[in-house]
Amino acid sequence: MSLKKGTGSMELGECTRNPGYQDVEGGGSAAETINADPGEKHDSTALKLDQDLAAEEYTQIKPYAGMPKEVLLQYSSQARYRVPREILFWLTVACTLVLVALTITVIALSPRCLQWWQASPVYQVYPRSFKDSNGDGVGDLKGIQEQLDHFLYLNIKSVWISPFYRSPMKDFGYDVEDFQAIDPLFGTMQDFEELLAEMHNKGLKLIMDFIPNHTSDQHRWFNLSRTRDPHYKDYYVWTDCNATSPRPNNWVSVFGNSSWTYDDVRGQCYLHQFLKEQPDLNFRNPNVYKEMTDIIHFWLEKGVDGFRMDAVKHMLEATHLRDEPQVDPNKPAESVKTEFDLHHDYTYTQLGLHDLLRSWRAVLDVYSREPGKYRFMVMESYDYQEVEKTMMYYGTPLVRESDFPFNFYLLYLPQNTSGLWVKDLVHLWMANMPRGKWPNWVVGNHDKPRIASSAGQTYIRVINMLLLTLPGTPTTYYGEEIGMENINVTDSQIQDPAGKYNASASRDPERSPMQWSGDMNAGFNIKTNITWLPVHPDYRSVNVEVQKTDEGSVLAQYRFLNTLRQSELPLHRGWFCYVHADASVFSYLRELDGLDRAFLIVLNFGKESATTDLSSVRELPDQFQVLMSTNQINKGKVLQKSRILTEAGEGLVIRYSTHTRFNPNHPEQCYVSEKACYLSAMDILYKC
């Protein structure tokens, strides 16, 4: 410690690191001057001297760690410190603004992300036939859970499961006794919840069947309605009729004969547009609408990801109950027994139907607000030649309805296997679909013959290629990925109620057990030798296990195409353009603006080999290489565009490099749901 003379103050000189901190001329330090006791008295001269001395000392002090704020402020105001600081500040502000503007621009210009139901095919599981876990011969929910990895193997994310509600099984689950219970044949509610949780853990989505048009005649509502309970008496469509001739009008059931059945308990007839065990609900009663809406809430609360709305065109009927006009006016009235004998002016797609469906869409939209939890809705409506009625299920530009109605027109493909016919079926949907909507494609389901049987095994591969390279969402019925065919069912083996009424109308052949392996019962039931329907005799060669080991199998090609579809932008959201169709070949392009590669698809649906000349398509390169062929020996071949050879039932996927787009010069031949362009410099999509 040292005592400076002449100041009367003391400082720790040994601890001072900054020489500028010492007295200038032996006086006290600047710090002492600043921190002088405010109570100390100085005369005005001494005070002025101290201030001058402090000012002189400040000019000599260098910045040091731990300096008091007065010293810091002294230096921070100097230009050499202030200017760089201000430059850095404004650079930071400018960079922040640029980043914010860039982020807003990218968001504004980015096209909408595809939803899960757009990115993946929808795979239909018929639960009775998928996998039996307990050995009773009937598939169940635990069986589905055991096979979830099959969907992952196929790169499928969307799984639609046909009805598993409690049911008397007169129509195998489409006659519902309790909409909020699981039929014991399929398991328990706990089994369902475990299945749903495991599906979500694996990134899979579950779509349920919802059956709004009718219930089972064993449903509690119907039993209360037939006894004229005050609340339930109008839950169904009743009318006066004669017990000996119960036909209030000429309306007919989908399954044939009259839509009316006399009920002895109530003393009236009730309407059923399907089986007599499936009475139609009366949606003109607001209580019925509320009950069915509550059921939708029940399953959405459980966590299901969407609904397939069954038979929606039947939900409302004209209240006047007049006879419907006959297709053939000269046909005797007593001979009118099928739905195709009448024009269904009073029973199908009645005024008010779409208001009901759009209100349910609004319910699903509320549950869709949770990020990553979009709730999907698809309609089932066979409208045959009246395609404009089907398109109404898309909704309007102002009011949404379904995400899409099922497109059943490819079910007609086997009627005429030719390139021109396939193009006509595809164009029927594309030309009538509202602008900007999302297409979909169905070639088989639980009500129609398997495509491998109706079109022939020769065409199953090329049909799968068509499904997975067209724009939109393909639907795959279980077994189509391995080329399963219909089974032969004898009269004694018929299980389908429709088949028991008319053996030729039986839907059993397309519902046989899934062929998992060459083991007992095709691996469907490995515990007992029981199956609810016979297994197809070809199961030892046509099954999942054996096709996994064969790179040229139907399964391997399905998996490759689905993976390609999801990984290539032109295939899952690019332009679709017709380039050629003739008696054998249907060909089209898939391309994306800004991307330097595109795909040419060439499909031979004819009965013999064909050579396709695309030399008139100037946007194509003169030669290209086959990325995939349904005929393995042609994979990797280099082809000339003037001579593309395909065998009957062969399909080609050709990927080629180009900077020339086809769609700008041929807008009438091209379609895109939502236009997007690719910016290679940033590897992003943007609206264009």
H-helix or E-strand spanning residue 98:
helix 79-109
Catalytic residue among 175, 280, 305, 310, which? 310
Q: Are 588 and 578 in contact (CB under 8 A)?
A: yes
The length of the chain, given as a count of residues: 688
Q: How far apart are CA 629 and CA 584, in angstroms?
A: 17
Q: Output b/e per residue, 214-227; b: 16+ Cβ within 10 A.
A: bbbbbbebbeebbe
Q: Are 640 and 621 in contact (CB under 8 A)?
A: no
CA torsion angle for 451, 452, 455, 459 (degrees, to 10)?
120
The reply to whether 310 belongs to the active site is yes
Backbone φ and ψ of 309, nearest 5°:
-85, 115
Q: How far apart are CA 391 and CA 372, in angstroms?
A: 27
Q: Are 227 and 235 in contact (CB under 8 A)?
A: no
What's CA 95's distance to the chain center, in Å? 39
The reply to whether 146 belongs to the active site is no
User: How many CB atoms lie under 10 A from the CB of residue 677?
Assistant: 15
Q: How far apart are CA 181 and CA 220, in angstroms?
A: 13
Query: Residue 211 is which amino acid?
Result: I
DSSP string, 299-341: HHHHT--EEEETTGGGS---TT-PPPPBSSTTS-GGG--SGGG
Query: Residue 608 is which amino acid?
Result: E
Catalytic residue among 317, 380, 481, 485, which? 380
Backbone φ and ψ of 258, nearest 5°:
-65, 150
Q: What is the DSSP letter of 342?
A: B
Q: Which residues are catalytic?
A: 310, 380
